[in-house]
Amino acid sequence: MAPRTAKGRAQSTKGMKAVKQRIPFPTGFVEKREAWFPLAPQPHMPAAYDMTDVLAIKRMAEGKAQPHEQQAILRWLIYATGCDANPYVPGDTHATAYASGKQWIGQQIITLLKVNPQVLNATA
């Protein structure tokens, strides 16, 4: 559909340049972080977080986090480390290495979650 003029008439699009729209990547503080938020295109940029994430981290640091806050922190850490993302950054080996390092931290958290404490006690 052609753009309209102020009077509602169809305006010609001949000679107009197409404008690429950039997909916004939320980084840093956002009003409400959604589970589907993608990670930033560059791994050094901060992951999105909202006030719920901030308060949960602060309460955890004080040793006062409720169970649902502890679970939210764990989900955010796995999201922020990019465990479910491809660490490859086209044309930038340093950014790829940085993203892989972030991912390694998240993978270590996931590994500890999978360890059976009873097996560890039996071998000690």
5 torsion bin: left (phi>0), alpha (psi -120 to 50), beta (else): beta
pTM of the model: 0.70
The CA distances from residue 11 to 5, 16, 18, 19, 102, in Å, are 6, 11, 15, 17, 50
Supply the pLDDT for residue 1: 46
4-14: pLDDT as tens digits: 455 555 555 55
CB atoms within 10 A of CB 82: 19
- Given a cut of 70, the residues of the chain with pLDDT beneath it are 1-26, 36, 41, 124
Supply the pLDDT for residue 24: 59
Pairwise CA distance, residues 72 & 59, whole Å: 12
Pairwise CA distance, residues 45 & 99, whole Å: 10
In the block, tokens 């986090």 appear at: 65
